[in-house]
Chains A and B, each alone.
Chain A
């Protein structure tokens, strides 16, 4: 694989309200698309703002194209921002026309007026806003505003494009269009894309790699044990019927279609059924066992593919091997809606 375009090490940032973002290691490769997923308040926007150098974290080592970036160095930060562009969730448009908004970034880069005009008009055409050039931004709908903001970022052809919930304020019928505009631009320019979203289906549509944030921590290897299903009430309790016909109990308040996730650390492994208060117990065979850091990762085939982490001692103590049939037990509260 190519050299990383961006490398983040030992990121630590804490807000006054106690929320903290802690990421040990995070790497982006050129031309790849990453989706940042996680519930509201998991740190997606904070991470994007740190990557866009809008928020200075208390601690972070940032390497862009093999060069260490010091956030305190105004010149370095400026040079970086010229190549890494962020589109905020609630994008702000300058109080002028649509054309001037899209042209602004090119103008401050000293591009010739004729070339600026050509590129702006081309970009407005791509985002479906031809004819809007002279329109004041005050007369745009939420969706149009977001498309102008996207055009304003894409026209700069950044090496990394950071998008914070790019379709959050867009009508459903325009979502596919926005996604295809982003995809086309990325392919044409080999742009690295980081898009935050809380919609798992969108994350998988747009990204090569899905990263998951939870409570300010990035879950290793993205969202493991992520499944889609329907949550319904039953006399026995709230249940989620997964698409793979497996049924699990949950304490989630959401009803209807949802993505659910079970943290690998919340699952207990045993050779026999456990007599416990945990409401979910699945029997399956070990499909794969591998060492990850100091732990053993088990992939269990139970009708759904469950990833479980156990210690080396537990693995040895239970005398487990690939093909063994074991029980995976977890509480209803471990089945969380993403």
Chain B
């Protein structure tokens, strides 16, 4: 049990002093997660809106695929993006593999279904009278969409928070696409895996505490936003 106690002592020391590049690792994690969330929101939000408000050929199939992708194993995404970005892959010329760019690409693909599915649900739960109300007040088509987004704002924010929570805690794709390079692509999750293998519990526990706080914070925010929308 001693090693656990020592591990926690070391973790708190690292958290206070910031030694062993703790905050660099946290920075990389947050950067990758934030960028992926922003990109996934940019793609998933319009996708969710279209599926919720428009009727088009293949819409039902699209929703089924989207729901399936919610349970997509992260290593499968990692593998797919790896195949695309490796030197022999179609996008090998971009030289992105083992860079934060590759990690952001993979995490974005993981987050898009979450943002799109939650946004679809948020728009579907809007009162059907909103559009008519907007029209009676004289909105332009753009203003109508803006009002719909505003009415679904809590659901959309919940989608963003949920996708952030997913990507910040993800390890499979981050490891495969980033390569766990210190100072460059080492994130909290990949560092924890590595340090645990090395028997360096101090750093692993320190990062685990931060990760837990981040995931916990995201979940609290998510539930609070869901409560507001109900």
Q: Which residues of A contact B (CB under 8 A)?
A: 49, 52-54, 74, 78, 81-82, 85-88, 90-92, 94-95, 104-105, 108-109, 152-153, 156
Chain B: how many interface residues by the 8 Å CB criterion? Answer: 16
- What distance in Å separates the Cβ of A286 from its nearest Cβ neighbour in chain B? 48
User: Is B136 a contact partner of A86 (Cβ separation < 8 A)?
Assistant: yes
**Shortest beta-carbon distance from A126 to chain B in Å:** 18
Q: Are B136 and A85 in contact (CB under 8 A)?
A: yes
* Dominant secondary structure at the B interface: helix
Is there contact, CB below 8 Å, between A105 and B138?
A: yes
The answer to whether B132 and A88 have CB atoms under 8 Å apart is yes
A54 and B136 contact, CB distance less than 8 A: yes
Partner of B137, one of A49, A53, A90, A156: A156
Are B136 and A78 within 8 A (Cβ)?
A: no
Q: Is the CB of A78 within 8 A of B138?
A: yes
State whether A88 and B129 are in contact (beta carbons under 8 Å apart), knowing that A94-B147, A94-B151, A95-B151 are contacts in the complex: yes
B138–A108 touching, CB < 8 Å: yes
5 intermolecular pairs with C-beta atoms under 8 Å apart: A49-B132, A53-B135, A82-B138, A92-B130, A104-B137
A residues in contact with B136, CB < 8 Å: 52, 54, 81, 85-88, 153
* Contact residues, B126-157 vs A (CB, 8 A): 127, 129-130, 132-133, 135-141, 143, 147, 150-151
Residues of B within 8 A of A81 (CB): 135-136, 138
The answer to whether B137 and A152 touch across the interface, beta carbons within 8 angstroms, is yes
- Determine the residue in chain B with the shortest Cβ distance to A158: B138
Nearest CB of B to A86, in Å: 5
Shortest CB-to-CB span from B99 to chain A, Å, is: 42
B8 to chain A, nearest CB (A): 45
The answer on a CB contact under 8 Å between B151 and A108 is no
A54, A86, A90, A95, most chain B CB atoms within 10 A: A95
CA distance A245 to B33 in the complex (A): 82
- Which of B127, B130, B136, B150 has the largest number of chain A CB atoms within 10 A? B136
Bound Cα distance A61, B150 (Å) = 35
- Tell me the smallest distance from the CB of B222 to a CB of chain A, in Å: 19
Chain B proximity of A305: nearest CB distance (Å): 40
Q: How far is the CA of A72 from the CA of B141 in the complex (A)?
A: 13
Chain A residues in 8 Å Cβ range of B133? 88, 91-92, 94
**What residues of A have a CB within 8 angstroms of the CB of B139 in the complex?**
78, 108
